[in-house]
Amino acid sequence: MKNRKLVTGVTLSVLSLSLFLVGCDREVSKDTSTSVSSDGTVKTKEKTVTQAPDGTIKTEETKKTEMP
């Protein structure tokens, strides 16, 4: 019975520790450009490059248009 509790405790400790070691994505670069048309429309483009803890790189592009 003691061994079962010990194994369960160690297993839970290892699982919770692995969640803390995962980490978050790191932002490598961010580029924002804004342009205004003659009719007053504002167009904004953002490009964000992030790097995951395992080394993979992800690029996200977002576009917004605001009418006057």
Q: pTM to 2 decimals?
A: 0.55
Q: What is the pLDDT of residues 2-58, one digit of tens each?
A: 688 778 877 777 766 665 666 677 888 999 999 999 888 999 999 999 998 888 999
Residue-level pLDDT at 67:
82
Q: Are 67 and 43 in contact (CB under 8 A)?
A: no
Residue 1, token pair as written in the block: 């019975």
